[in-house]
Amino acid sequence: MIMIVANVLKSLLSFSMMAVLLAYSTIPAFYPTNGLPSSGIEGSNPAVMATDIGGLAKNPNSVFNGILKGSYNIPFVKGLSVDGFAAIDKSWNFNKTFNKPYLLYDYNKTTNVYTPRVVGGSNNLATLNESQQNQTQTTANIKLNYQLSFDKHNINAFAGYEQSEIKSETFGANRQNFPTTQTPELSQGGTAATDRDNSGSSYHFTRKSWIGKLSYNYSEKYLADIQMRIDGSSTFPKGNQYGYFPSVSAGWVVTKESFMNLSWLNYLKLRASYGALGNDNVGLFQYLNTYAFNNQLVLGSSIVPGMDLTKLANPQVHWEVAHKTDVALESVIMKNLYFEFIYFQH
């Protein structure tokens, strides 16, 4: 109930804010002589719009987030372990907006007459809009880890697999010209064909990823990383669904060398990296032709909807790839002065 009230107030305030900014300070919200609501400016009275006189707005939301995690140290191989998780995120969103007409009054000082003006709704009658969206996202991840240290050598590696799926369904419907404001339900609107409309859509998106990384350092002085991602996305057609994104990096902590004995130089590190990143956050299903019912045809004595080709397919759409290079120098001087120089190219 608290969420519904909050959303109603938020909706009403957003509609009335512009009216507040445009209102003249000389125009009363309610006439002092009889308490009738004034028409404000251009038929907007913020004091009235902040009440439920113009209808109702409900926007309840329900969200479920669940995750199950696990890990296991494999006993017969030192440093080998496996971990993973499975997660589900589900949301339900419903919106119902009922706009009904109400009266505001214009005052004529010359004739001392209060003239009513009908505002809200459509054609002096109520309108109703309802919509709902249900979305589910599932994610599964499993990763094999390995750690090994001997003498001054340290190795850290993992290989993993992850997949995710998103399903979404949306519908909307509206009715106009309600004969009474006492029944704010879709079935009670006007009976003409032009008094009703509806819409609906859905989509299904999946992604698969193979991820691997190998890290090595010698006495925390020489460091190196090699990474590889193979990502597959349903955004792209077969043949272009997978992208390959390697990266490498290396570092050298110079102050760990025996020849570096400067008392004022506490830390000096050189590092560099190069890698490729992919992006599939582009328009879905570009590899398919897009059609829409934009016209009508006469077949015999009947008028039927006609379908138009509105957008040609792009069968070559593929992953967006960015190549990045990074070279940096990190330093600490006199124990308190930190210095970093970075060259970055994208």
pLDDT in tens, 142-179: 999 999 999 999 999 999 999 999 999 999 999 999 99
Checking if the pLDDT of 1 tops 60, the result is: no
Alpha-carbon span 130 to 95, nearest angstrom: 6
Q: Would you give the distance in Å from CA 213 to the centre of its chain?
A: 29
21: confidence class by pLDDT, cuts 50, 70, 90: low
pLDDT surpasses 50 at 12 = no
pLDDT at 5 over 50: no
CA 37 to the chain's CA centroid: 41
The model carries a pTM of 0.75
Distance of CA 80 to the CA centre of its chain: 37
What residues are paired with 86 via a beta bridge?
A: 68, 140
Strands (DSSP E) found in 254-311: 265-279, 290-299, 302-311
Mean pLDDT over residues 14-38, rounded? 71
Provide φ and ψ at 261, rounded to 5°.
-125, 35
290: tokens are 């897009």
Distance (Å, whole) CA 48 – CA 227? 61
**What's the pLDDT at 206?**
96
pLDDT in tens, 305-331: 888 888 899 999 999 999 999 999 999
DSSP secondary structure letters along 127-163: EEEEEEEEEEEEEEEEEEEEEEEETTEEEEEEEEEEE
Among 317, 314, 242, 225, smallest CA distance to 278 is for 242
Average pLDDT taken over every residue of the chain: 89
